[in-house]
């Protein structure tokens, strides 16, 4: 099984280098620029090794290491820093880091440091287990004397670890199962706080492209609020769709510049041609329609996008021809 690595660094260049270097070394690599997100990721996933920058906005790398020692004590932590100093290195090791590497580093340097850190951490854990075994054998500690609470905490931790390890990867799930897992992860990320309902809906919406009735139902059950409340909140915002997007997505701009040039007429024409209104998907699933306020290219107005293609100086006739062309292509394929 591939070893898992988490890289926490506010420099995207460092993240992409680590991704490239360690994926080539058969690691499964997760990266984040946010120390807070890094700390929440370790609660769900066990990482064999964590690379952590020292100076990051928001949370100092030393503080992150201290927290990782409490929440993910089995991970080998390596601190990386563009401002190396003996004092900082010593401090990092005292707080539980296995190594300290100065930036910029070569691929060989960082790979060697990571492999050695993992080996040292594993050796450290083996020693602890052996010591515990020896003490129990020689009677220096007896199992019944172990605090009940500690046993409970251990069994909860073991169960949690088992749950994480047996959890199937997202890639192996069907689309509805994957959407469910992602929705639950989003709710956890927002601490299931209903004050963050819009943020949660936006995150799920940006993954799925719409909020299905099943998804709204799941969120309602998990947050103990009614589906009606969620729907009422979401439908207030034009950004949310409730139908699965069509195979081809048409966006018609009706911002001031485009409207003056005929954007409103184009919208009416496409509505009647496809027999849908903005937010809906045609019955055959081929087209979905969205009305937007401005696409930032007003000089080209009226503007219509079809999938990723931006079409300027549009007219109802031109759009109608473009739609017919797609129909013809789809019917051949």
Q: Please give the radius of gyration of the chain, using alpha carbons only, rounded to the nearest integer.
A: 27
Two tokens, residue 329:
């292509």
Contact 36, 23 (CB under 8 A): no
Rounded to whole angstroms, how far apart are CA atoms 107 and 19?
11
- What φ, ψ does residue 25 adopt, rounded to 5°? -95, 15
The one among 102, 185, 225, 298 contacting ligand FES by CB under 6 A: 298
Which residues within the stretch 241-260 sit at the binding site for ligand FES (CB under 6 A)?
253, 255-258
- Tell me the closest approach of the beta carbon of residue 290 to ligand FES, in angstroms: 13
Q: Kindly indicate which of the ranges 60-68, 180-188, 242-250, 290-298 contains the residues binding ligand FES, using the contact rule CB under 6 A.
A: 290-298
First to last CA, the chain: 40
- Tell me the closest approach of the beta carbon of residue 283 to ligand FES, in angstroms: 28
Q: By CB under 6 A, how many residues form the interface with ligand FES?
A: 11
The one among 187, 197, 301, 304 contacting ligand FES by CB under 6 A: 301
Enumerate residues 6+ apart whose C-beta is below 8 A from 185. Answer: 44
The one among 173, 182, 294, 310 contacting ligand FES by CB under 6 A: 294
Closest residue to ligand FES, based on beta-carbon distance: 255
322 part of the interface to ligand FES, by CB under 6 A: no
Rounded to whole angstroms, how far apart are CA atoms 154 and 140?
20
Would you say 265 or 297 has its CB closer to ligand FES? 297
Enumerate residues 6+ apart whose C-beta is below 8 A from 240. Answer: 201, 205, 210, 211, 234
Contact 295, 310 (CB under 8 A): yes
Quick check: helix, strand or coil at residue 223?
helix
184 part of the interface to ligand FES, by CB under 6 A: no
The one among 29, 113, 303, 304 contacting ligand FES by CB under 6 A: 303
- Tell me the closest approach of the beta carbon of residue 206 to ligand FES, in angstroms: 22
List contacts with ligand FES (CB under 6 A).
253, 255-258, 294-295, 297-298, 301, 303
């Amino acid at each position: 099984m591939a070893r898992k690595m988490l890289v926490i660094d506010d420099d995207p260049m460092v993240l992409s280098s680590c991704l490239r270097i360690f994926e080539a070394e058969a690691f499964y690599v997760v990266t984040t620029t946010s120390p807070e997100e890094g700390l929440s990721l370790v609660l769900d996933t066990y990482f064999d090794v964590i690379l952590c920058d020292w100076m990051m906005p928001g949370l100092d790398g030393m503080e992150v290491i201290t927290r990782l020692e409490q929440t993910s004590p089995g991970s080998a932590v390596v601190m990386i820093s563009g401002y190396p100093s003996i004092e900082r290195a010593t401090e990092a090791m005292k707080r539980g880091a296995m190594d300290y590497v100065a930036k910029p580093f070569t691929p060989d340097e960082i790979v060697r440091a990571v492999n050695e850190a993992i080996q040292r951490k594993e050796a450290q854990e083996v020693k602890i287990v052996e010591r515990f075994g020896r003490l129990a054998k020689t009677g220096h500690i007896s199992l019944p004397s172990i605090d009940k609470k500690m046993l409970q905490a251990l069994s909860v931790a073991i169960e949690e670890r088992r749950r994480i390890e047996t959890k199937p990867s997202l890639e192996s799930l069907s689309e509805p199962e994957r959407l469910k897992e992602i929705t639950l992860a989003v709710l956890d990320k927002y601490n299931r706080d209903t004050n963050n309902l819009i943020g949660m809906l936006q995150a799920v919406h940006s993954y799925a492209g719409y909020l299905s009735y099943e998804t709204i139902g799941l969120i309602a059950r998990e947050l103990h609020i009614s589906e009606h409340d969620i729907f009422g909140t979401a439908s207030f915002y034009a950004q949310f769709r409730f139908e699965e997007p069509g195979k081809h997505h048409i966006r018609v701009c009706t911002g001031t510049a485009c409207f003056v040039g005929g954007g409103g007429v184009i919208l009416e024409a496409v509505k009647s041609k496809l027999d849908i209104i903005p937010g809906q998907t045609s019955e055959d699933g081929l087209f979905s329609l969205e009305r937007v306020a401005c696409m930032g290219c007003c000089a080209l107005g009226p503007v219509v996008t079809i999938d990723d293609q931006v079409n300027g100086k549009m007219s109802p006739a031109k759009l109608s021809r473009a739609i017919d062309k797609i129909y013809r292509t789809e019917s051949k394929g």
